[in-house]
Amino acid sequence: MTEKKHLLSILVENEPGVLSRIAGLFSGRGYNIESLCVAETADPLVSRITMVTIGDSFILEQIKKQLNKLINVIKVSDLTGLDYVGRELVLIKINAKTENRAEILRVIDIFRGQVVDVGQDHYTISITGDTEKISAILNLLKPFGIRELARTGSIALFRENKSK
Amino acid sequence: MNKLTGAQILMQMLKEEGVDTIFGYPGGVVLDIYDELARTDLRHILVRHEQGAVHAADGYARATGKVGVCLVTSGPGATNTVTGIATAYMDSIPIIVFTGQVPTKLIGNDAFQEVDIVGITRPCTKHNYLVKDVKNLAKTIKEAFHIARSGRPGPVLIDLPKDVSISKTNFKVPDDVELRSYNPTYVPNKKQLEKVVALIKKAKKPVIFTGGGVILSKAHKELAELAKKTKIPVTGTLMGLGGFPGTDPLWLGMLGMHGTYRANMSVSECDLMLAVGVRFDDRVTGKTDEFATDAKIVQIDIDPTSIQKNIQVAIPVVGDCKITLEMLNQLINKENTDDYEQKHKKWLDKIKNWKHTTPLAYNQKNVIKPQYVIEKLYELSKGEAIITTEVGQNQMWASQYYHFNQPGRFISSGGLGTMGFGLPAAVGAQAGMPDKLVVDIAGDGSIQMNIQEMATAVQYNLPVKIIILNNGFLGMVRQWQELFYDRCYSSTKFVHTPDFVKLAEAYGAVGLRATKPKEVESVLKKGISSPGPVIMDFVVEPEECVYPMVPAGAPISKMLLV
Ligand SMILES: Cc1ncc(C[n+]2csc(CCOP(=O)(O)OP(=O)(O)O)c2C)c(N)n1
């Protein structure tokens, strides 16, 4: 069976210990977490965890069932293959020598990024987008020398049916 | 409304949940709870080690079908419960463990006897709680009992900081529990069951395979009805023993590593397997690629994670075993006109022949054979005893040579395989079933792991009978060394063992010993008829092996036989 990335959206009770139950489940059963994003929803009693995990369909079925089995988990949705909007925020600290600055700014502009901090010889750039966009810009910026990188991991929401 | 302290609320809620017995051990942070306990009519059984408290609560739960409860202090008291909790978790036994905790102000400070027991037990409880505010206490206890006993049951731990047991709040019994994130599926999908009925009608070589789920959901009557009506033979896991009458002609014996020849062969050849309340543990399946390869497998379980975990199944059915079998029986009653007796005759004859050619067997010699002791015990107790076991050969021989006709009669650590389980579990079972004969079948190794609970048995006059199959070895490990490690008995021979007769006497119990086959019956008779706790030391063949045996990783049809 082939392994595939899956994007899970998990609603949980906003209580202490919930994240460690989920992290413990993944480490205890040898599942992978590629990225993880947690924050409160509009209902302060509920948090949404957006997670990217990897596994074959057999493992994914177990992951979803095991998550559902946790008492504090309200709902697990696998957005993979469905129509969803996904975004990630990335902060990139990059070498910005005088001769490169114009080129870097052009790239950022194309991707609708922003320079949020400037130093003698560096820029810090903020950019949001889906996974493909992020990897595209990272590829373009790599030659300039990326010093540090912080990514939030994906967050996502299912697209509602528009014609209603 | 009157204000109660946390400790008082705890007592009220235990009463509310129908608890009459708790197993425990006091300490600093639970002093207020123990002080309150002394003012109630709850029976508290003071064990001699917190591990014993949890196993006792577990044995009590398995014997009575009620939720077992224990209470211990923080720190070492709490960590001592972990093996017991993991044991109950693996076997899905409903227990509640109350642990004391340092005052909320001190949590995280490495205070005296502080340990993060909620963190430690997260992976081995069904759920756990740290109660930080006395206002949430009653609701938490209510939820805990609900979670422990519903769905797939399991242990729940509640950590109670000292200040929570002292502070006061208005008390009212909480309403029924509603958890939006926890709703086990009891009633299965009827369409799935219709498919199952069609498969049953088509099958030529069907087998029913039962596990602990049948016992936990009390589905034994429905199971017997199904098997008898459709003339389908039944095998089971260790946890399933007693779920189907062990003396019924349709019973195949246990399946798996030490299963009977006919059970393992039937499963290897069957064309339909109805798996009810089992999780396909590796000790049962052997090599999964060669497990029941010709069979369409139907799996009925209340826990969706058990389905399709180790074995691919054709028809998954999520539901309570009892309700599901009840519905299945109704469907079969409605449309069935087949003569199953005739249809399955060839298959049942084949199985009968396996039983005839390759029965469970051992060679009798002029030393006591452990199997013989259990056969005699079965005879003398008329199959009516509650049997607990330790772990190892003793456990396997108990499962092979004692026959269980009812659920709740065989109490053994199946999933975790915890040595030291049997004696405290027997103490708990006896506390719940005072009129029953309760026997712990033990090895000379395991019995020493919680031997201190003899004092508990004597103090509360819980007349448990302990049968030690004393082979001078850690027998099951020795067996593996004999068969797979060229008899290199590395650290499995006990060079020194206590005199168990004197040990029994030192505890204030009766000690008996048999060294020859002809003494077995009289020692058993004397032991069973003694009014109090008894240790019976049977000096048995030192190098006896449990057969059949499927080597680890082999298919279950490839058994080593006597
Ligand atoms: C707590 C614990 N430690 C170690 C083991 C590994 N183990 C499984 S069976 C066994 C030997 C048990 O010896 P004994 O109690 O004398 O029983 P016998 O097999 O001789 O009947 C051991 C050490 C275990 N199951 N549990």
Distances from the Cα of B5 to the Cα of B16, B165, B421, angstroms: 16, 6, 35
A112 CB near a chain B CB, below 8 Å?
no
Q: Would strands A35-40 and A73-78 be described as parallel, antiparallel, or unpaired?
A: unpaired
Distance from residue B322's CA to the centre of ligand 1 (Å): 34
Distance from the alpha carbon of residue B474 to the mean position of ligand 1, in angstroms: 6
The closest CB to that of A71, out of B182, B304, B305, belongs to B182
Q: Write out the H or E segment, with its range, that includes residue B445.
A: none
Measured CA to CA, the distance from residue B538 to residue B468 in angstroms comes to 6
Nearest-Cα distance to chain A for B537, in Å, is: 41
- Taking CB atoms and an 8 Å cutoff, what residues of chain B touch A72? 181
The pTM of the full predicted model, rounded to 2 decimals, is 0.96
- Please, what are the domains in chain B? 3-170 (3.40.50.970), 190-354 (3.40.50.1220), 370-539 (3.40.50.970)
CATH hierarchy code of domain A85-158:
3.30.70.1150
Domain borders along chain A are 4-78, 85-158
Closest CA to B37 of B50, B24, B18: B24
From first to last of its 562 residues, chain B has per-residue pLDDT tens of 679 999 999 999 999 999 999 999 999 999 999 999 999 999 999 999 999 999 999 999 999 999 999 999 999 999 999 999 999 999 999 999 999 999 999 999 999 999 999 999 999 999 999 999 999 999 999 999 999 999 999 999 999 999 999 999 999 999 989 899 999 999 999 999 999 999 999 999 999 999 999 999 999 999 999 999 999 999 999 999 999 999 999 999 999 999 999 999 999 999 999 999 999 999 999 999 999 999 999 999 999 999 999 999 999 999 999 999 999 999 999 876 678 999 999 999 999 999 999 999 999 889 999 999 999 999 999 999 999 999 999 999 999 999 999 999 999 999 999 999 999 999 999 999 999 999 999 999 999 999 999 999 999 999 999 999 999 999 999 999 999 999 999 999 999 999 999 999 999 999 999 999 999 999 999 999 999 999 999 999 999 999 999 999 999 999 999 8
Residue B131 contacts residue B161 (beta carbons within 8 Å): yes
* The CATH number of the domain covering residues in A4-78: 3.30.70.260
Q: Output phi, psi for B89, to 5 deg.
A: -65, -45
- Pull the structure tokens for residue B72: 């211990």
The token duo for B150 is 């519903």
Q: Are domains A4-78 and A85-158 of this chain identical in fold?
A: yes
Å from CA of B445 to ligand 1 middle: 6
Q: Three-state DSSP class for A27?
A: helix
Q: Which of B476, B536, B549, B559 is catalytic?
A: B476
Q: Please name the residue of chain A whose CA is at the shortest distance from the CA of residue B129.
A: A17
Q: Token pair of A99, please?
A: 């001769």
Closest in B126, B180, B305 to A62, CB measured: B305
User: What is the Cα Rg of chain B in Å?
Assistant: 24
